[in-house]
Amino acid sequence: MPCHVVLGGQWGDEGKGKIVDYLAAGAHAVVRFQGGANAGHTLVLGGRRLALHLVPSGIGHPGCLGVLGNGMVIDPVALLEEIASLEKLGLEVRGRLRVSSAAHVVLPCHVLQDRVEERRRGGSPVGTTGRGVGPAYADKAARQGVQMGIFLRPEGEARARLRETLERKRELLQALDPGVDFDVDAMLGPVLACREQVAPLVCDTTALLQDLLDEGRRILLEGAQGAMLDLDHGTYPYVTSSSCTSAGALVGSGVPPQEVAAVTGVVKAYATRVGNGPFPTELAGEEGDRLRQIGQEYGATTGRARRCGWFDAVAVRHAARVSGFTELAVTKLDVLDGFESLRVAVGYEQDGKKLRRMPVGAEDLERCRPEYVEFAGWRTSTQGCRSLLDLPGGARRYLDLLQEHAGIPVRIVSVGPDRDSTFRA
């Protein structure tokens, strides 16, 4: 069972990229299995900061194969731009990147549709990144999408298929908003221009991964977003358009469940959320601002300020049950170093009723108020710590509290942005 799944246990932005990079030492492949360029996984390697959106977070390890799985939706223009930016930093990418022929293409019309639909929601926007991810998944489900295998087809056939899609989308968008229009040929040009560079990367990645598994190779499956943004198990409708769970990892990669040995749930030592939707432990005012500034909580994809709050053990328990976490990786513990006191939400109260489980959907969660346990801070820097024993006693007790109320053991701790600031607990 050489497969290891790494997932977000909160509302995304938990530091999954950093944990994947840490775990990728000795891995043969790292697979992104869902989402698209709406992801923002940040690595700090040798003092260089890399913001990854499509390329898997194992790219910092020479010899590690990066795989964009069948469950993804991929903007080919954005992919080539990201590859070029990474290669400019001296990383070898093209020779060790593979793209599923069954993944779906995000076209410029999807980006336009994303923005039109968000604008039409008026005062109740979802808060998407505007990268066209949702509309591309909608077309996939409606059996109207275009798969990445289109870049392997003869140019005339690819052009005709893409033109058909763009013309249909143009009609749809004009029906939504008569003021929206675009030139099909102008929109088609940049996509077709990607064909020569993208085609060598495209293959049957499910077959590739199955061959690696047969050889006993170690594979990491890297999730984007987080459990509370999952299309089925998150705070619907304020969710992403794909499955961020361990089940989604299997569907989006073609890896069978019996090959999975471990599932790491990545959580921050506090909580953040980008975009709209309920966030029970959100801190308004000075404490929230303080967390944001110390933690530099701004989106790697959008640059938007993240909403900040205390650790929510109810949400993490929900994520752990849905995805079968075998361990927790706690990131940004160092952000809490200067706080005199901390809080952890261990339950909710909804309309006078005590809850220990996450309610279904955004409307019910919006009516929940957290029940906290108070915890004294440690007021000592953890940034130089490289083992559990190095941590101040208060920080160790805080981790004990998190694992007690989340119901999952903390096995990995991160106390800074660099690779060497992560250690096994």
- For residue 255, give the CATH number of its domain: 3.40.440.10
Rounded mean pLDDT, 332-338: 96
Q: Which of 94-98, 120-124, 398-402 has the lowest mean pLDDT?
A: 120-124
| Burial class of residue 62 in the structure, from the number of CB atoms within 10 Å of its CB (0-12 exposed, 13-18 middle, 19+ buried) | exposed
pTM: 0.94
Q: 344: which strand partners?
A: 311, 373
DSSP β-bridge partners for residue 7: 265
| pLDDT (0 to 100) of residue 279 | 96
pLDDT at 39 > cutoff 90: no
Q: Are 32 and 85 contained in the same domain? A: yes
Q: Do 229 and 277 share a domain, yes or no?
A: no
* Average pLDDT, integer, range 312-330: 98
* Predicted pLDDT at 123: 63
Note the pLDDT tens digit of each residue in 246-274: 999 999 999 999 999 999 999 999 999 99
Name 304's Cβ contacts closer than 8 Å, sequence gap at least 6.
274, 275, 298
pLDDT score, position 301: 66
- Closest C-alpha to 33, from 70, 87, 85, 79: 70
Task: Output the pLDDT for position 298.
Answer: 87
Residues of the chain above pLDDT 90, percent: 82
Residue 47, pLDDT above cutoff 80 = no
15-24, 113-122, 359-368, 397-406: least confidently modelled range = 113-122
Q: Same structural domain for residues 288 and 143?
A: no
**Cα–Cα separations (whole angstroms), residue 254 to 70, 79, 172, 200:** 8, 22, 33, 21
* 352 and 378 both lie in a single domain: yes
pLDDT score at 222 = 98
* Same domain? 98 vs 55: yes
Tell whether 327 and 259 lie within a shared domain. Answer: no
Co-location of 192 and 273 in the same domain: no
- Which helix H or strand E contains 402, and what residues bound it? helix 393-406
Task: Please report, for the domain that includes residue 388, its CATH number.
Answer: 3.90.170.10
Identify the domain boundary among 170, 196, 222: 196
- Together in a domain, 348 and 386: yes
Q: Could you say which of 168, 196, 224 is where a domain stops?
A: 196
Residues identified as active-site: 13, 41
* Residue 380 belongs to domain spanning: 266-424
Asked whether residue 210 falls in the same domain as residue 239, the answer is yes
DSSP of 114-179: HHHHHHHTTT------SSSHHHHHHHHHTT---BGGGGGS-HHHHHHHHHHHHHHHHHHHHHH-TT
Task: Please compute the mean of the pLDDT values over residues 81-88 and round it to a whole number.
Answer: 95
What percentage of the chain's residues is helix, strand, coil (to nearest 5)?
40, 25, 40
pLDDT tens sequence across 111-156: 989 888 888 776 667 777 888 999 999 999 999 999 999 999 999 9
The CATH number of the domain where 177 resides is what? Answer: 1.10.300.10
Residue 29 shares a structural domain with residue 156: no
Residues 215 and 316 occupy one common structural domain: no
Average pLDDT over all residues of the chain: 94
pLDDT at position 330, please? Answer: 98
pLDDT mean over 379-397: 96
Asked if pLDDT for residue 238 goes beyond 80, the answer is: yes
**Domain count along the chain:** 3
Among 228, 244, 263, the domain-final residue is 263
- Are residues 259 and 274 both part of a single domain? no
Could you report the per-residue pLDDT of 268-320, keeping only the tens digit for each? 999 999 989 999 999 988 889 999 999 999 876 677 899 999 999 999 999 99
- Whether the predicted pLDDT of 15 surpasses 80: yes
CA distances from 21 to 36, 106, 184, 292, 419 (A): 19, 26, 40, 24, 8
